Structure formats: structure tokens, C-alpha cells
Amino acid sequence: MHGLMMDTPLLISSIAEHAANFHGDREIVSVTMDNPRHRYTVGDAVPRARQLAGALDKLGLERGDRIATIAWNDYRHLEIYYGVSGAGYVCHTINPRLFPEQLVFIINHAEDRYICTDLMFVPLLEKLLPQIPNVEGFVIMTDAAHMPDTSLPNAVCYETMIAGESTDYDWPQFDERTASALCYTSGTTGDPKGVLYDHRSTVLHAYAAVAPDVMNLSSCDVVLPVVPLFHVNAWGIPYSTFMTGAKLVMPGPKMGDGEALYELIKSENVNLALGVPTVWLALLQYCEQSGQVLQSLERTVIGGAAVPRAMIEQFRKVHDVQTIQGWGMTEMSPLGTANTPKAGQESFTEDQRFDLATKAGRGIYGCELRIVDDEGQVLPWDGVAYGALQVRGPWICSDYYKLEGAAGTHTEDGWFDTGDVATIDPQGYMAITDRTKDVIKSGGEWISSIELENTAMGHPAVAEAAVIGVAHPKWTERPLLVIVAAEGQDIGKQELLDFFKGKVADWWIPNDVAFVDELPHTATGKIKKIELRRQFADYALPE
Ligand code: ADP
């Protein structure tokens, strides 16, 4: 027997309409290429998204066609999120920092019909043009006054395109499983793979994100997503802020600029900021050098890579900011875990709290977790056993776009293999020890590169650290610590290696330290281990 409840589809357009009805006066502040501080309200944004939807309908597109964006975080990009998906097209967000050949691959693989681009990326697209012949037109995200001379075919100015359209657009109603957005993984191994989200997965994921034990979002919050709109939908922030009426502050091209982020946080009273660890390094460094404290900030959601304990401590001790570590992937929309406290931890010492906060967090309702050994046997949640981390749930991909199972990432019993190796403790807190492909295997036993990196980051002379496995005649592989020294700091190898004593098992301590000026990063700001292993492929460890 079915229940007697309405079967209204979970559509992204319903989030926009909810926001317009209940939070119309809430501000959205953006830094854009043509305006250092643009401000308007949700009540301005939603009618403009409707106008865009109307304009798109006139381009002769079919439902499900891909419309790409190459743009920073700002209000026009946000309108495109709602206008494109709401009208039944697929919003394909592209990371502009990818290599040109990856951009070409992605645009052609997705069969993008139109590309919406920031002014800044017009020259890049002009160069790529001969290799992306199927793109029919380009929408330049600016006003008529800033419209450039360009060789891009059918280039229209965003403001001109939407200007004549009615603000009374009726959003189409369709199956909630209809595709809404497309995002490619960064392709650190092989070609990038497309993850195709749908309306249902997006709405459910946004519901999950606002929960008190996840991001704890409400209309009283002021949110700064430093995670890009082209990186897994900025962790769902465009949807969860509209669901709750939180004020949005978007940094545009100023993502990696510590001073600009500090100014935005201070002047807009930001209390929640989100991003990967590398962007916080820049902000914390700026604050330290200029003697500033982040007064308004209450919490940061940090994910995408392991969060060093030193960063968590600095946020808490210097700025009185809570760090919520999150873990997830493009394939997971991305949220899988969030690290927030649980009942029973009231008597924890500060040290215990910091220890716990370095873990990736506990499962969010909607994302099941399990760890399995090499034979696929499920491992216990004892905080010790580690194995391949697998997930299942309504916002986890069931396949990649146009790959039809070829990626081999799903198990026969319907779980997605994340490629991460993890432990889960009896309280349900998961800790990532490595990516499967980064694991260091010494004498048949695994050494966690992430734990060694975290330990190294705790030394004041270390600005950034990476640990990789290097070939060893007896142990197969041994860890090599590669560091960027903090400015003005001079430190010897032995002193650094001694720092590990008592903090990790003796046999985990790296065999050597290499000093570099800079570590290679991926387009999403993570350390590029593949590249680092290539650089140190012939490295001879000391006897
Ligand atoms: P990619 O780097 O492939 O573009 P994602 O941004 O989807 O893709 O990265 C997902 C990966 O990032 C995870 O599989 C995991 O290895 C790593 N990651 C994400 N969050 C954390 C975390 N809190 N701790 C450690 N690793 C993390």
C-alpha cells in the first residue's frame, strides 16, 4: 500500500522560488571582473535567473543539452546555475585552471552547445576555438559597456541577452531524476571523468548540508564560499544558502588572495567560510603577518584534502574559529562526512578535541560508509583496521557520463569505491590514511602519508609538506618527506626527522627530507603526488 502523500518532484527551480518568497531581501555580494563589490538581493537574482531561462529557451536547445560555464564565483554564475538547470538544461561547470588539452577534451566530451565565460577567459577560449568546433555560441558574462572585441562566434553579452526577457518565466516541471549539472573530476590519472548530477540528488544533498551536524546553516549566516562554483558545485552552497536564506559573499577572481579574503570577511561580517586547506594557508599567513584577527568568523568548513592539525589549532587558538573538516568527492556531490562533535564528548580536553578534528568526520545521513579489505570483506569500525572506503546513497554517482561501467569503480553489490583508504572508529568517525594510489608500502605494511604530512605541518619551520614513497632495495618503498620551509626559517634534516619521534611509529619515520621552493598542485589546489613522484623517481635514499 502506498502512502497518501503528494509526489511533487524535487527540482532545483523550487529552491530558487522558495528563496525569492521567503528570503527576497537577503543580500548577495560579489567581486566580479567589472565591479569590485557588486551587491543585490535574492529578490533581484531569481527574476534574472528566470530571464536567462527564457533567453535559453529561444536558442533552440533540447532539454538535457549542456551549457558550460568557465567562471569564478559571482552573482552571474549563480544565476546561470539556476537558469540553466531550472529550465531543464545541464549546467556544465569547467575548471579554468585545467590544462588546455583537458579543457578541449572536456568541452568535446560533454558536447557543450554554449559556453558562458568570464571576460578573463575570452583569450583562452579564442585559442582553443579551432579544437572545439561544435560549440555554437558564447555568452560573455559582462555588460554591454565591458563587452570585448572577440573572434568567438555568436558571442553575446550576458546582460543584453537577458535584458528583454520576461521575469515571469514558468519553470518547467519534470521528473526529479532529470540531469541538472555536470562536473568532471580533475583527471589526475587518465582522462577526466564526467559526474552527472540530477535535481533529486542536488536537492537531497542540499537538505543534508544545512543540518546542524553538518554546516548548521540558517538565514542568520553570512557565507563565503572560497571553494569554486566549478568545483563540485561549490560543495552545494548555491543551493543550501538559497534553501535557508543565508547571505552569500562571493570572492570572484580573488580566491587565493589572503588580504582580499580577510577584507571580505571583515567588511561583510562573514561567519562561515568554506574552502580547501591551501586557500586557508594564504589567509592565515596574511593574518599572521599583518597582526589581524578574524573577528566575525565562527566556523570554517575545510575539505578536499586532509586538514593539518596545525591549521585547526591556529583557527581555534588565534581566531576562535571552529573547523569542520569534511570529506567527499566530485562523485559524491561531494559531501560524505562532516566532523562535528557528538554527545559524550563534553569532558574532552582541548588536545582530544584537536585530535578528533583531524579526522575526516562521521557519515552524514544519506551517505552510507564501509571499509573493506583486498578480498572485499567488510572490516570492523575499531579505528585501527584500514581498507578501501566505499559509499552508497542517493547523491553518489551510479556511473560516469558516457562511460557505461568502463571505469570499474562500482562493486557488484552496488557500492562506489572511492579510491581512498580509511579507518572508522567505534563512534563512526572516519579518517583517511591515503588515496589507494598514494599508499606507501614498506616491507608489506602500509604507512599513512597523510599522517606523516600532518605531523610535519606541526613543525613551525614547515610551510607545506608532502610524503611520497621512494624505491628501496630492502623495504620496496620508504617514505621521503618533501617540504617547503616557512619564510625565513632554516631547519636541518635531522632536526625535522627527530620531530617525528614519539609522534608516529619509529618505522614510519621518513628516511630523508628534500627541500623544495614549491610543491606541484592540481587545478583544485591539492598536492599533485603523481608529479612529485615523477620528480623524485630516481631519488637515492641515504644508506
Ligand atoms: P579530484 O581531486 O579528483 O578532482 P575531488 O575534489 O573529488 O576530486 O577529490 C576527492 C578526493 O579528495 C577524495 O577522494 C580524497 O582523496 C581527498 N579528500 C577530500 N577530502 C578529504 C579529507 N578531509 N581528508 C583527506 N582527503 C580528502
166-223 residue pLDDT tens: 999 999 999 999 999 999 987 656 788 999 999 999 999 999 999 999 999 999 999 9
Please tell me the distance between residue 111's alpha carbon and the centre of ligand 1 in angstroms. Answer: 27
Q: Comparing C-alpha atoms, which of 148, 522, 503, 101 is closest to residue 305?
A: 522
Please tell me the distance between residue 276's alpha carbon and the centre of ligand 1 in angstroms. Answer: 10
Mutation test residue for ligand 1: of 389, 432, 450, the one with most atoms within 8 Å of CB: 432
Residues 114, 66: Cα–Cα separation, whole Å: 7
Per annotation, catalytic residue among 79, 165, 176, 331: 331
Please tell me the distance between residue 334's alpha carbon and the centre of ligand 1 in angstroms. Answer: 9
In-domain check, residue 531: yes
Are 377 and 505 in the same domain? no
Q: Give the residue carrying C-alpha cell 628501496.
A: 472
Are 444 and 395 in the same domain? no
Are 407 and 462 in the same domain? no
Are 508 and 419 in the same domain? no
SS3 410: strand
Residue with the nearest Cα to atom 21 of ligand 1? 305
Are 517 and 402 in the same domain? no
In-domain check, residue 247: no
CATH number of the domain residue 85 falls in:
3.40.50.12780
CATH number of the domain residue 407 falls in:
2.30.38.10
Residues 508, 478: Cα–Cα separation, whole Å: 8
Please tell me the distance between residue 329's alpha carbon and the centre of ligand 1 in angstroms. Answer: 5
CATH number of the domain residue 473 falls in:
3.30.300.30
Mutation test residue for ligand 1: of 329, 400, 409, 417, the one with most atoms within 8 Å of CB: 329
Residue with the nearest Cα to atom 27 of ligand 1? 305
Please tell me the distance between residue 419's alpha carbon and the centre of ligand 1 in angstroms. Answer: 10
Q: Comparing C-alpha atoms, which of 305, 297, 294 is closest to residue 270?
A: 297
All three cell numbers of 87, joined, read 529550465
In-domain check, residue 315: no
Does the beta carbon of 438 sit less than 6 angstroms from any atom of ligand 1? no
Residue pair 524/461 in contact by the 8 Å Cβ criterion: no
Ligand 1 atom closest to the CA of 327, numbered from 1? 20
Q: How far is CA 486 from CA 92, 189, 311, 381, in A?
A: 38, 30, 14, 38
Q: Which domain holds residue 410?
A: 367-435
Residue pair 439/450 in contact by the 8 Å Cβ criterion: no
Asked which of 187, 210, 236 is the last residue of a domain, the reply is 236
Q: What is the pLDDT of residue 532?
A: 93
Are 64 and 193 in the same domain? yes
The verdict on whether 507 is a catalytic residue reads: no
Residues 400, 199: Cα–Cα separation, whole Å: 17
In-domain check, residue 62: yes
Are 473 and 382 in the same domain? no
The verdict on whether 185 is a catalytic residue reads: yes
Judge residue 465's burial from the number of C-beta atoms within 10 Å of its C-beta, 0-12 exposed, 13-18 middle, 19 or more buried.
buried
Per annotation, catalytic residue among 27, 263, 446, 493: 446
Indicate the angle between helix axes 237-244 and 12-23, nearest 10 degrees: 40
Please tell me the distance between residue 199's alpha carbon and the centre of ligand 1 in angstroms. Answer: 23
> Who's near 161: CB < 8 A, 6+ residues apart?
52, 55, 139
Overall number of domains in the chain: 3
Are 182 and 154 in the same domain? yes
Residue with the nearest Cα to atom 10 of ligand 1? 329
Asked which of 188, 218, 236 is the last residue of a domain, the reply is 236
SS3 206: helix
Does the beta carbon of 527 sit less than 6 angstroms from any atom of ligand 1? no
E strand map for 179-233? 179-184, 194-198, 222-225
Does the beta carbon of 333 sit less than 6 angstroms from any atom of ligand 1? no
Q: If residue 84 lies in a helix (H) or strand (E), which one and from where to where?
A: helix 75-86
Does the beta carbon of 327 sit less than 6 angstroms from any atom of ligand 1? yes
In-domain check, residue 321: no
Which regions of the chain are under pLDDT 70? 187-189
Percent of the chain with pLDDT over 90: 84
In-domain check, residue 311: no
In-domain check, residue 4: no
Are 94 and 144 in the same domain? yes
Are 429 and 477 in the same domain? no
Does the beta carbon of 360 sit less than 6 angstroms from any atom of ligand 1? yes
Are 408 and 473 in the same domain? no
Q: What is the pLDDT of residue 187?
A: 61
Q: What is the pTM of this model?
A: 0.91
Listed in sequence order, the DSSP H helices in 380-539 are: 449-457, 493-498, 529-535
Are 17 and 124 in the same domain? yes
In-domain check, residue 399: yes
Residue pair 38/30 in contact by the 8 Å Cβ criterion: yes
Asked which of 236, 253, 282 is the last residue of a domain, the reply is 236
Does the beta carbon of 329 sit less than 6 angstroms from any atom of ligand 1? yes
Q: What is the pLDDT of residue 98?
A: 87
Per annotation, catalytic residue among 142, 185, 330, 522: 185
- Cis omega before residue 334 (within 30°)? yes
